[in-house]
Amino acid sequence: MSTDEPTPQGSGKSPEPSGVDLARVALRAAKEQARARGAAAQQKKQARRGGGLRSGARADGRDPMALGAAINRLINERGWETPAAVGGVMGRWPQIVGEDLAKHCVPQRYDEDERVLTVQCDSTAWATQLRLLAPTLVARLNEDLGQGAVRLIKVFGPGGPARRYGSLRAPGSTGPGDTYG
């Protein structure tokens, strides 16, 4: 029996591929082998280049980025979100607490471990006023920074006068209070 003749219906065998069908099967197999060889060659090239990074029209990790994006990436990578946010609060202090209070009370430092904001006031009256407003201010700061960022506000009044050391002082003396016990 030749391959050009149709098989009888009752023989149970499927027809063998003819010349055109054989060519299609051979072409499909050749294409698959070429793809496999090309993929292997591409992987080898990428391994030599260092992980597939290549120069071209598409963006990759080596492209320059805007300064703001680079700073945000650095802050996120290092885990500096809270200190950076608190620094922003210190810059916006007048908008947060109001102009009157900001003229007389200045944030000094933030302790990240204790979550304590330290504020210095220029008079005892303003320090008392800020102590009364502290719970409201903590709530406002936590809304802005995220819950639990500020646990406590320490308020300091003005410091005492500078100690003057004159020619008539004994070495090691701390002032007039050191003689009275």
- Go through 157-175 and write b for each residue having 16 or more CB atoms within 10 A of its CB, e for each that does not: beeeeeeeeeeeeeeeeee
Here the tokens at position 157 are 């009044």
Question: Which amino acid is it at 138?
Answer: V
Would you say 13 and 3 are in contact if contact means Cβ atoms under 8 Å apart? no
CA distance 35 to 32: 5
Here the tokens at position 153 are 């506000």
Angle in degrees, 0-180, between the axes of helices 124-145 and 81-91, rounded to the nearest 10 = 130
Q: Beta partners for 156? A: 120
pLDDT tens, residue by residue, 32-54: 888 888 777 777 766 666 555 55
Here the tokens at position 170 are 């004994």
Q: Beta partners for 119? A: 107, 155
Q: Beta partners for 155? A: 119
pLDDT tens, residue by residue, 100-132: 888 888 888 888 788 888 999 988 888 999 999
pLDDT tens, residue by residue, 51-89: 555 556 777 777 788 888 888 887 778 777 766 766 777
Q: Binning pLDDT at 50, 70 and 90, where does residue 18 land?
A: confident
Would you say 89 and 138 are in contact if contact means Cβ atoms under 8 Å apart? no
CA distance 82 to 68: 17
- pLDDT attached to residue 15: 63
What's the whole-model pTM score? 0.48
- pLDDT attached to residue 36: 82
Q: What is the CA radius of gyration of the chain?
A: 39
Greater pLDDT, 177 or 20: 20
* φ, ψ dihedrals at 17, nearest 5°: -65, 140
